[in-house]
A and B are shown apart, each in its own frame.
Chain A
Amino acid sequence: AQSVTQLDSQVPVFEEAPVELRCNYSSSVSVYLFWYVQYPNQGLQLLLKYLSGSTLVESINGFEAEFNKSQTSFHLRKPSVHISDTAEYFCAVSDRQGAQKLVFGQGTRLTINP
């Protein structure tokens, strides 16, 4: 079984400041890793994912995450945030051999202050 821990339930930052949202996972098998974003009153959208290959993955809107196997982490970073990045961010894992079931972390609410 897998579990995901997002250490920060809320992260307030100022616009144009850098941000890191932390995610650690636990699993007895190899996993795929994901970050999803949920904007207010909307469904979840895939932000980025790690399946294999380069441990650093990037999204089209400037976010990146790095898979660290030794630390079982997949932290999400952005060097300069915008007001539009205000949302709930969920880290998730799925078993590489499983039926695509996702296990989610508790979520981190990112609030951008002007």
Chain B
Amino acid sequence: GAVVSQHPSRVICKSGTSVKIECRSLDFQATTMFWYRQFPKQSLMLMATSNEGSKATYEQGVEKDKFLINHASLTLSTLTVTSAHPEDSSFYICSAPLAGKYNEQFFGPGTRLTVL
């Protein structure tokens, strides 16, 4: 099956620094990728839709200047949390749909961000 990877799997940073999270589709191309955020014992909340070659589409209430998304190629999307603060600590998960399997998305293993 299709595989989506994320790097790093875990990151701890100081408040005020920026953190970049990568999401890669390993054996398929993805013109669209999705970024979710999951708080402890809560569900996944869609943050934004990453579009290859164009600007990301952010969900209501998500600060686009704080969560920068770049979809540089058909296999790579990055999420940069700028000037991170403790309240940004969360589990960040990306997903990518597989062409020809409409509405089946493949999820990355997630990145645990802890901001001190």
Contact = CB atoms under 8 A, between A and B. Distances in A.
B105 A100 contact: yes
Contacts of B67: none
Interface string B76-105: 000000000000000001010100001111
A42 interface: yes
A34 B97 CA distance: 14
**B interface bracket (residues with beta carbon within 8 Å of A):** 20 to 34
Interface residues of A, number: 22
B49 interface: yes
A43 B43 contact: no
Contacts of A107: 41-43
B32 A43 contact: no
Contacts of B4: 43
Interface string B52-76: 0000000000000000000000000
Identify the interface centre among B34, B103, B110: most chain A CB within 10 Å of its CB: B103
A104 B109 contact: no
